[in-house]
Amino acid sequence: MNDATHSLSFKSFFHEIRQEFGSPDRGFLLTAWKMCTAPGPTLREVFRGEGAELTRPVRYFLMVFTFYGLVYISTGAIGITAADTSRHMAEWINQAHAVRGIAARITPSEIAKANPFTYYLQYPLVFEIIVTILLWAASWPALARMGLNATERLGATMYIYGTFNLLQIPLVVFVFMGRSSTLDVVLGLLFMAYLAWATHGLAAPPNRLAFLRGIGWYVILQLLSGIVIGLPLLMMVRDVDDHPAQHVAAPASTASS
């Protein structure tokens, strides 16, 4: 077969890129723009079966993850973030033990093995899926009361979390500046504000209560995340309490030499 339409060339590659990101039927850029500027009305448009030019939620989520991965994975920012998170958690647990007079110490590597969030940061797509599931579960009080079914809530979650990941890509500079704690605060406030804004736009008609539903959505997400993070760490702390000799730190002179 000699079909020029399907032949491979640089022109065909550029045409495919244009079709994937900018064409009316697969408008990734249009979807990202509308989700950044009017998330609530955009989601209502999708739920009404309109917006044929918008990228579908799973495709949108995976395409955003591709960009996110190119920046955070290829630059090593994910590894830095995971190491900082494990170190801070280990320091917090060790300080709590010191207050109680327990000499045992937890190492960051032990935290990474016990804590699913820091462990799965090494597998970013798995991590993103876990967060998406938690965000979807946390959406029930905010969105189900507004008439959205489970499938619509999952679609909204993919669009919203995908857009949030898109917005945080430029903030990777904080990681390389050693400002991971600052980044955590900025991302937390940004995500809470974005959830409140999107939920407000989803309400018909929009009202102040919708803002509070969005904030509640964020709070419940934090509670669920705290449970996922806290239970393994609590088991680790109990293990240290039961077997402190296995976690005794090396003497300071040995550590400094």
Whether residue 9 is predicted with pLDDT greater than 70 in this model: the reply is no
- Domain boundaries defined on the chain: 57-250
Quick: pLDDT tens for 80-97: 877 777 787 788 778 877
**pTM of the predicted structure, to 2 decimals:** 0.77
22-45 pLDDT tens trace: 554 458 889 999 999 999 999 999
166 or 102, greater pLDDT: 166
Full 3-state SS string of the chain: CCCHHHCCCHHHHHHHHHHHHHCHHHEHHHHHHHHHHCHHHHHHHHHCCCCCCECCHHHHHHHHHHHHHHHHCCCCHHHHHHHHHHHHHHHHHHHHHHHCCCCECCCHHHHHHHCHHHHHCCCHHHHHHHHHHHHHHHCHHHHHHHCCCHHHHHHHHHHHHHHHHHHHHHHHHHHHCCCHHHHHHHHHHHHHHHHHHHHHHHCCCCCHHHHHHHHHHHHHHHHHHHHHHHHHHHHHHHHHHHCHHHHECCCHHHHHC
pLDDT at 56 over 50: yes
Give the pLDDT of residue 26: 56
pLDDT in tens, 178-224: 777 788 888 899 999 999 999 999 987 777 788 999 999 999 999 99
